Each structure stands twice: as C-alpha cells, then as structure tokens.
Structure 1
C-alpha cells in the first residue's frame, strides 16, 4: 500500500512541476498580437503591453485614435498577407479590417482571428471589453480598464438637465436610442428629440421640422467629411446655429468601445449651458 501511495504522490508532484513549468513558459512567451484596423487598434493598444504588440494598423496614430499616444515605436502596417505573416503573430485582432480571403489564409497558417463585435451601449461595451481581454490573453488588463471605465461612467455629469437633443453629422445622419451615441447623450442628461431607431438620414427639409433644444454635432471639423454634404447647406447651417451646439469628440464617434466613456466624462466636466 505504501509503495502504491508513493508512486501516486511522485506522479502528482511530477504533474505539478510540469504544469508549473508550462504556466511559466506561457507567462514568459505571451502571444504576439497584430491589429488590422483603427478600431481594433484601440483594443490592442488599450489592453496589450507594447512588447507583445507586433504591429498595429496604419490608422493607429490618426487624430481619431484614442490610444495613439501608446503607439510609440510599434510598427504600423497595412492588412497585406505577406506583411502580417512576416511578423509571425499568434493573434490578429480586427473589426472591419481584412477581407475574407486574408482571414482564411491567416487561419490556415495557424493565426487566431479575434473579431470585435459592434456595441450599441456601454453595457455591451463592458461585456466586449472582458471578452476581448480574454481572447488576447489579457484578462487582468481588461479588469483594470473596466474599473477605470466604471469610474468614468459614474463621473459623467448631468449637463443636459432633461433638454431635448438631436444628433447630426455633416452627411445628414442622426442616431436613435438604440445606438452608442444615444446612450452617450442619455447619460449626459439629455432627452433624444427622436425615438427613431438606429442611424437614419435627415434631409434639409426634415431638419426644418425638428425643434430640439440642443444640436449634438460631430465631424463638422473634418474637411473631408464636409465636402459636398447636406451639412454645408445654408438652410441646415441656419437651423443648427439657431440653437446651442454640443460638439462631440470625433474620436468618441469614430469607434464604439469602453474607451469612449473617458471622452464623454471629460466633455461633461467642461460644462454646458
């Protein structure tokens, strides 16, 4: 009996040593990560240590990139198969970047593809933060960001005070209550002028019929976005200028994610009359 127990104890000890060694090896060799587009960049730069990022997209340093200050010397690439394979990544993160053929070829070479889901509220953003954190092997980073995220939500001041508000872009589009923009404006204390769901087009003629207390604007400072668009119409400009304007940060509108809460918190702290 003693010999039987001795054999099993030795087996358990050996298994424990092997498991510990494997864990240590995984810790010392974290997965190398590449992101394929501007929105995926935010998740990778926000969660993955710089040393473990093989590359980000060539959009990572644009003004609308929230974490652009973290790029540093990280390589920036376009979504070309040969370029990505040369980096030997373990994980590729994407939202809209990379076509189906590229993704299939990467998977054929053993690369794990993590596709970020669209989120339409901060509750969904929280869940996606944790999911992607797990997928890229950074659950601890996700928990840290989640704590910061919750603090930002709690600190958003009520600057709307129940006033009605209408979101409007240069292209003539607005947003309903089931969008991230709708959630942002509601958390800021505003009441949406329209309950139409999703993103929808407002012609200049329809704009004349809307009487919000405030207009929420984004991308009007983008020279490219302002080319030959409804937002340049004198009629539209007159309507917009007749009421207070809340300027939403372009980078908070460019990609939906937990990190947009930081800009919305800052916006609320600036105050609004």
Structure 2
C-alpha cells in the first residue's frame, strides 16, 4: 500500500510545527516542466503557489498525481511557460538541454533537480528543493524519512531480481540497486547498468524473489520481442514478489524511501 498521504502529512506536520510566517522570498507562481519536477513541487509547494505543472503530472507514474487534478498544465515550451509569468521554474529534463539558460536570460529563476548518483544525493536534493520552494521544513522532513529508511540495518541475504514489464533489469551502481540493498536484499543482477533479463543464467539459477516496478502503469512499456515474453522469464513470475508502484521508482526522488519500506515489509 502506498503511504502517499502519510508522506505528505509528515512534511506538512513538520512545517506546522515551525514558528513564524512563511519565508518572504517563497515563490508564488511556480511552474514545473516535467514529471520529476512535478513530484517535488506537488509535495513541497502550496497549491495556490503552483501556476502550472507538466502534462505528465496527472499520470499514474507520477507521485502525488491526484494533487495535480485542479492545477493548470503547461507544455514545456518557452512561449507557453513565459506567458504564465512564473517567478520560479523547476525542471529536471523538461524543455530540453538549453531551457535553463533560456529562462534565466528571460529573467526567470530556475531550479534544477540535479544529478543524484546515490540515495544520500536524493535526500540532499530534497532538502535543497524544499528551501528553494520556500518550504525548508517540508523538504527536511521528507529527506529525514528517506535517510531513516537508508539507515535501518539490513537483515538476511536473499537474492532479488528487479523486473520491469519490458523485461529489463539493473545492476550495481543504479539507484534501484541501492534501494534493494537498503531493503536487505542482494541484487541478483551483477552487471552494472541496465540490461535485458539474463535468461541463460535464469535457466539454471533462480533468484529468491522478484521486485517488480511499473507493473501498475497503464502504459506498461511492453515490446513485442522483450525478454519477459520468454518462457524462462514467465516462470519467474511464480516466485515470491513485491510489486512496487511505478510512481515510487520513476524519478531520483524522495518516494524511493517508500519503495524501500514497501520491499522490506514484503519480506516479513
């Protein structure tokens, strides 16, 4: 079960305990340009301070997508965005590689999510975004929750294979690998990077369990020739498994802490 409400209440509760009025510099017309930016804006900003979110904000792969229901949507084009007269733009990849330079030249501040190679980086980014959006207490609370999940001692040595609907998995160095480790699991995939399922190895050596991602999505990213259609891969689906909603895994963002919790609880 996704504890979306619990995470938001955690952040809101931390904010409510602070003294004094909100920061005077808090932006009042925030625009986010892609669904990874939307995640942070929807969690950290007040609804009436959000001028627009991206077209992906309401999709099932976006965390807190229900909050986006009544918020205007804007395409990540310079003309459309500038017409909204934003006082802050938040982006990860939205608008293309030159978007940040373009908007800053137009006089609009831009906050980029930044690269996160580790879960600690994700927590730090959450704190930074909270401060930029005028909600440092919320950002700190969400970052603390993620760090708590990372810090819990791992128990057991079960091997888990991460599986997507397109038959892709990932090994050491990825955030998914770090999520599995934080949940007390050893990654079955030993090759760095992203790869098709290792069918030859799976034919004679199975993992102890599966962790799946994005199987709840309306667009399951399946291909006609993907490796999940192979009989060896199909047989894997009978193993013990934890299905992780794509909204928890879609971005290098604080919902990864809930993914860790969900996987850990799935083993109990």
More helix by share: 1
Looking at structure 2, the residues matched to 28 and 227 of structure 1 have their Cα atoms a distance apart, in angstroms, of 48
Q: 1:86 to 1:205 in 2, by over 3 A?
A: same
Q: The residue matched to 1:100 in structure 2 has which SS? A: coil
Partner of 1:140: 137
Q: Which runs of 5+ in 2 are unaligned?
A: 1-20
Q: The residue matched to 1:76 in structure 2 has which SS? A: coil
Q: Which gives a bigger RCO, structure 1 or 2 (Cα 8 Å, sep 6+)?
A: 2
State whether residues 211 and 263 of structure 2, in contact with CA within 8 Å, keep that contact through their aligned partners in structure 1.
no
Partner of 1:21: none
Looking at structure 2, the residues matched to 243 and 149 of structure 1 have their Cα atoms a distance apart, in angstroms, of 28
Q: Higher Cα Rg: structure 1 or 2?
A: 1
- What is the deviation of 1:150? 4.0
- What is the deviation of 1:35? 0.5
Which deviates more, 117-126 or 55-64? 117-126
Partner of 2:161: 166
TM-score by length of 2: 0.79
Q: 1:251 aligns with which of 242, 247, 250?
A: 247
Looking at structure 2, the residues matched to 43 and 254 of structure 1 have their Cα atoms a distance apart, in angstroms, of 13
State whether residues 157 and 265 of structure 1, in contact with CA within 8 Å, keep that contact through their aligned partners in structure 2.
no
Q: Confirm or deny that 1:219 pairs with 2:214.
A: yes
CA RMSD in angstroms comes to 2.8
Q: 1:201 to 1:60 in 2, by over 3 A?
A: same
Looking at structure 1, the residues matched to 66 and 87 of structure 2 have their Cα atoms a distance apart, in angstroms, of 24
Partner of 1:111: 108
1:1-273 matches, within 5 Å, as: 27=24, 30-153=27-150, 161-222=156-217, 223-228=219-224, 229-238=226-235, 240-269=236-265, 271-272=266-267
State whether residues 169 and 217 of structure 1, in contact with CA within 8 Å, keep that contact through their aligned partners in structure 2.
yes
Q: Which runs of 5+ in 1 are unaligned?
A: 1-23
Q: The residue matched to 1:77 in structure 2 has which SS? A: coil
Looking at structure 2, the residues matched to 216 and 148 of structure 1 have their Cα atoms a distance apart, in angstroms, of 22
Q: 1:157 to 1:272 in 2, by over 3 A?
A: farther
- What is the deviation of 1:83? 1.4
Looking at structure 2, the residues matched to 136 and 29 of structure 1 have their Cα atoms a distance apart, in angstroms, of 6
Looking at structure 2, the residues matched to 167 and 28 of structure 1 have their Cα atoms a distance apart, in angstroms, of 43
- Deviation by residue 1:28-83 (Cα, 9 ceiling, x = unmatched): 76342111011110111111111211111111111121122322422111112221
Q: The residue matched to 1:57 in structure 2 has which SS? A: coil
Q: How many equivalent pairs are there?
A: 246
Looking at structure 2, the residues matched to 209 and 142 of structure 1 have their Cα atoms a distance apart, in angstroms, of 46
Looking at structure 2, the residues matched to 243 and 99 of structure 1 have their Cα atoms a distance apart, in angstroms, of 41
Looking at structure 1, the residues matched to 98 and 179 of structure 2 have their Cα atoms a distance apart, in angstroms, of 36
Moved >6 Å (runs of 4+): none
